[in-house]
Amino acid sequence: QVQLVESGGGVVQPGRSLRLSCAASGFTFSSYGMHWVRQAPGKGLEWVAVISYDETNKIYADSVKGRFTISRDNSKNTLYLQMSSLRAEDTAVYYCVKDYVHIGSFFDYWGQGTLVTVSS
């Protein structure tokens, strides 16, 4: 069965960096696009970034463009989100989400999420 397990969350000071990971299993990771979606405490869902199956296409939300970098290692079945210049408004649960196809389709599976808290 498909499993997506995020890690790397925690408390970080404003302006610092953090890298999230998502370990995937139960499907051929290298064949599918992957997304990051976040949810601030008590708020709705916000799409953050997507990466194509072969890493050739990456698209970001304006709110994180230039600060966050999505990447993947298909040999390790792992998705990453490198977050820099973190702000208080980046505080959220970050979900790793599988695309139905290579990129640009709908979501089918979600991870359980990892909490990032940006605070001094």
**Cα–Cα distance between 31 and 34 in angstroms, integer?**
10
Q: 27 or 107, CB closer to other proteins?
A: 107
Q: 44 or 66, CB closer to other proteins?
A: 44
**Cα–Cα distance between 85 and 64 in angstroms, integer?**
10
Tokens of 53: 């199956």
Neighbours of 97 (CB within 10 A): 22
Piece of the chain touching other proteins by CB under 8 A; list 7-15, 16-24, 79-87, 97-105: 97-105
Q: 85 or 105, CB closer to other proteins?
A: 105
Piece of the chain touching other proteins by CB under 8 A; list 12-20, 55-63, 73-81, 84-92: 55-63
